[in-house]
Structure formats: structure tokens, C-alpha cells
Amino acid sequence: MNYGGTNMRIEIWSDIACPWCYIGKMRFTRALGSFSHRDDVEIVWRSFELDPAAPKQHGLSQAELLARKYGVSLEQANAMDANMTAEGRKEGLDFRFDRVQVGNTFDAHRLIHFATTQKRGAEMVERLFSAYFTDGAAIADTDVLVRFATEVGLDADATRSMLEGIMFADAVRADEERARAFGITGVPFFAVDERYGISGAQQPEVILDTLRQAWNEMAALSI
């Protein structure tokens, strides 16, 4: 049963270009699978751009950009990617940083909002993550986004029309403004009923404990 006739609402801020967000998604999924009230949980995906000023496509590789961002050598950047690949493998993810095409994620976030209106939001999030980190897809490219949208059951023409216009741009900006209002400076971030926050890709046990605590507290208040 749910408390007071209302579902638990979990908002997840993430960026498609964030490997820790993908890992966090997998850990959250595992935690939710062990949560006895999982059928009464509403999940809302929120937009967060790590680099809003990023061009559609960078001319540098992911490792080169990483080295520039952190002021390290290319060798050190490759080692950082190797460590992240190992972390992803623990969650069943196949990170291929050698294929990653770094670019702007704004349209990908708009696509997730569009997919959510068609009840395909979760599927779209997963497909974009795997497209970016495993397939090496250029997710700032309209044709590429349309192709992945059709793979999760969205209409190609409607998707293209949306992407070529400005639909859901305000929704993306509203998500980011909401993140700022909450003091969120990094992702992934999980907000549980606006009462509890989980910052970072925490282990499933930590996430599960938070879900249980939030549920028990709300259940007590509804008595």
C-alpha cells in the first residue's frame, strides 16, 4: 500500500555524458528492486548539463578533454578512464571511452522530456546512456537522436519535429533551475519526496536505507 494514497516521488538529476550518473542509475535500480514498496514509487528524470556551453561536437577525444579539464597528462586521463571502466563493469556496464563523442547534451535532455510524455522516459534514458558510453554515438546529432527514439517506440516524424523546434527547452531549463534552488552542484542526485537527498552514485544499500527511512517517516505522518 502507499502512504496517504500518494506515491513516493523520486526525482533524479543526471546528465547523459556523466559516467557516474549511469553507474548511479544502475545502483538505484538494484536498490529499488529490493524496496518492498517499489510499485508505489514514481520516478521523475530531471535534466542537468555538466557543460551547457559545450559545442555540438568537440574536436578532441574524451581523454584529451579530460586531461585538459583536470590539468593532467593524457596518460593520466587514460588511467582515469580505465578506472571508470572497471567501476562500470561491476554494474554490468561496458564503457568504451575510446568511442565516446563528447558533445552538447541539451537536445538529448529535451528528447527525454518528450519521451516521458509518451511514457517512454525510462527507456529513453537507458538507450541514450548506452548509445553515448558504449556505442559511441553523437547524441547531439538530430538524425542520431531520431534513430534512438524510434528504437524505444517513439514516432520518428514527431521526434524530428520536436528536435528541430524548441519544444521542452523550457522544461530542461526549469529542471536546472530547480537543481540550483535545491543546492545541487553535481550529479547524480536523487531527491526523495523533497525531504531526503542522495548525492552521488551511492551503493545500493545506502540508497535502499534512505528509501526505507523516507517511506517509514511519511507512513507515520499519514496515520
Give pLDDT, residue 5.
52
Dihedral sign for Cα 145, 146, 147, 151, please. positive
156-164 and 142-151 are packed helices; what angle lies between their axes, rounded to 10 degrees?
Answer: 140
Continuous segment of H or E residues that includes residue 132: none
CA distances from 40 to 175, 193, 196, 210 (A): 23, 12, 17, 15
- The answer to whether the beta carbons of residues 30 and 204 sit under 8 Å apart is yes
CATH number of 8-221: 3.40.30.10
- The answer to whether the beta carbons of residues 6 and 221 sit under 8 Å apart is no
Parts of the chain with a pLDDT under 70:
1-6, 223
Give pLDDT, residue 1.
38
pTM for the predicted model, two decimal places: 0.94
